Structure 1
């Protein structure tokens, strides 16, 4: 029980959101019975399932073994960095960007056991990579899950809409990675022992992940989540205990906070002005909102004002770059790094990426339309 409760007690971001919700509740016009409807439960169920299957892969211990093999396989810092950034972008297309970080950041931190590497800089680039890669697919990040659910595009159709921006941002990030890491040889530690891992748990988790993605397409997400929970309860109960359930609570409270915010009487006039503004205003408003309140709440807010269009999807994903609050993935990655200096170093790379992404995204939208 303590294992389940402790993350909720330590999550300061969750506490801040709860306090904000209480304050908003004092001024917003609403009825208590309306609050459950404020949450997009399809998004929450999808996140929960993806978190569980990814935690199963992590708990198998395979990534400790993979980390050791990476150090043995790559000889230079630049080539290893390019591989990890590309892997982060690729993983985040099939997992959510947050979940890809739950895999890659512990893997990157484990590299300290075997070698001397600029680990903090690697984590910064992994955070940027998952923001770039995750924008491609409907399940790549929470805002895409939400926008896909509100639109009428198929899984493949959504990917085709996002492909120009995703391909551009990943290519730009790989070029930036090339110039940001040296050609220096990796210095390996002596006396490395082979980590132990559980093959059965790894294959179970992979199978459940594939099943869950199929269930998403077939609109059977709730039943698939029950199956995932049942399998882990029978075969690996520690996966259920180790999951960061407070992260799900963060998203639930975010939905409620934005819903309450939209019901502030003072906001109604501004909302009407934005709703009738041009696509350009919607595009830059979504990016600006993301910098302040994060791109997931910005998406929740914007889809109550404007349709779930391609330009909106591009805008909220671009908003994940820039300032730290732009994406919850940024907060997750830097918090897991446990390095105080990383908080300001992150912006040396992320802010330029924001301006590049805005320019590329706007030019591509103009060219495609």
Structure 2
């Protein structure tokens, strides 16, 4: 009797393969740049330019936020976090604290544009707004969150001079691999635009098989399994008869009720699945867009970017420390965000 087959069949359909394939390509490309040694060169140039821990932290936080507005929050982390880890070889810096702030920065920065993160891509598609109109509705929240983060950054990183490690040799790097990664990046982005992401991934993988096979082996493929499990979990949640009745009530909620529901749901099942779920019952309003983006702060599952950043840090202690900064950020954003929303026309 094939009882298992019935339950397993819909699982591949529950996974958003576009997201998984896109992530695979981006992970390969950034790992290629990392293994080329270019981050070492960039890190060396940067540490010469910044004299204090605070200057370096402010720069990295701003860089993460700006990159995330156009390259999406995940890609921004794939660039900034390896660079931060490289900097540790050159000078004494609080690497975990920097990575936590970078995770918060990509959540704050990426909410500005329709292409900053997956939930905005989804909301933008449903809202019928132009690129500029969507960015306009998100701008007050983005400005408020970035100012808060930079202020917090100022207090959390001291103005003490950076201590350089002596005897670090000038880094060896492979220009050919860096240029190849850039060329493959353009190919991959073009493939994404043309909705041919699978062919894009095949081309990128083929490129690395020819150029540097160690890139394919070095990628943290288990991260993709985490994402797949998340999609399946959400799918199974929505299938529970007990919850279907609850979800049908969402359309009748007050503004404050929907605000708290979207933020709360994001804390438990992450903000992208929450958006997918809630759009079945409510329109893609400014309130929903703000709420699911604020839901990326707080608990670890709030945003996939949190998982990516902390996993790349490769240090157990960071998982607890993250909440020390992220939970107050959530409370502040939920409170001030709702106030700002009332002031908007």
Instruction: Specify whether residues 187 and 154 from structure 1 end up closer, same or farther in structure 2 by C-alpha distance, changes over 3 A only.
Output: same
Structure 2 match to 1:358: 334
Q: Does 1:312 align with 2:288?
A: yes
Question: Which protein has greater RCO, CA pairs closer than 8 Å, 6+ apart?
Answer: 1
TM-score (norm 1): 0.82
Whole-angstrom CA distance in 1 between matches of 2:313 and 2:50: 22
Whole-angstrom CA distance in 2 between matches of 1:140 and 1:177: 22
Whole-angstrom CA distance in 1 between matches of 2:167 and 2:143: 41
Whole-angstrom CA distance in 2 between matches of 1:95 and 1:52: 15
Match of 2:309 among 329, 333, 341: 333
Residues 298 and 327 in structure 2, CA contact (< 8 A), matched pair in contact too:
yes
Q: How does 1:270-349 map to 2 (within 5 A)?
A: 270-349=246-325
List per-residue Cα deviations over 1:291-337 (Å, max 9, x = no partner): 22322332333233334443323212211111223223223333333
Instruction: Specify whether residues 57 and 217 from structure 1 end up closer, same or farther in structure 2 by C-alpha distance, changes over 3 A only.
Output: same
Following TM superposition, by how much is the alpha carbon of 1:261 offset from its aligned partner in structure 2, in angstroms? 0.9
Structure 1 match to 2:159: 183
Q: Does 1:253 align with 2:236?
A: no
Whole-angstrom CA distance in 2 between matches of 1:36 and 1:336: 26
SS at match of 2:249: helix
Structure 2 match to 1:16: none
Whole-angstrom CA distance in 2 between matches of 1:197 and 1:44: 30
Q: How does 1:13-162 map to 2 (within 5 A)?
A: 32-148=8-124, 152-153=128-129, 155=131, 157-162=133-138
What stretches of structure 2 of length at least 5 have no aligned partner? none
Whole-angstrom CA distance in 2 between matches of 1:154 and 1:234: 41
Deviates more, 1:110-119 or 1:93-102: 93-102
SS at match of 2:253: coil
Following TM superposition, by how much is the alpha carbon of 1:66 offset from its aligned partner in structure 2, in angstroms? 1.4
SS at match of 2:239: coil
What stretches of structure 1 of length at least 5 have no aligned partner? 1-24
Whole-angstrom CA distance in 1 between matches of 2:222 and 2:147: 34
Instruction: Specify whether residues 78 and 349 from structure 1 end up closer, same or farther in structure 2 by C-alpha distance, changes over 3 A only.
Output: same
Deviates more, 1:333-342 or 1:191-200: 333-342
Deviates more, 1:256-265 or 1:300-309: 300-309
Whole-angstrom CA distance in 2 between matches of 1:228 and 1:311: 39
Whole-angstrom CA distance in 1 between matches of 2:132 and 2:17: 23
Q: Does 1:170 align with 2:157?
A: no
Structure 1 match to 2:177: 201
Instruction: Specify whether residues 231 and 94 from structure 1 end up closer, same or farther in structure 2 by C-alpha distance, changes over 3 A only.
Output: farther
Whole-angstrom CA distance in 2 between matches of 1:155 and 1:218: 19
SS at match of 1:182: coil
Residues 234 and 269 in structure 2, CA contact (< 8 A), matched pair in contact too:
no
Whole-angstrom CA distance in 2 between matches of 1:31 and 1:120: 41
Whole-angstrom CA distance in 1 between matches of 2:123 and 2:25: 18
Residues 47 and 142 in structure 1, CA contact (< 8 A), matched pair in contact too:
no
Structure 1 match to 2:216: 240
Following TM superposition, by how much is the alpha carbon of 1:199 offset from its aligned partner in structure 2, in angstroms? 1.5
The number of equivalent residue pairs is: 342
Following TM superposition, by how much is the alpha carbon of 1:285 offset from its aligned partner in structure 2, in angstroms? 0.8
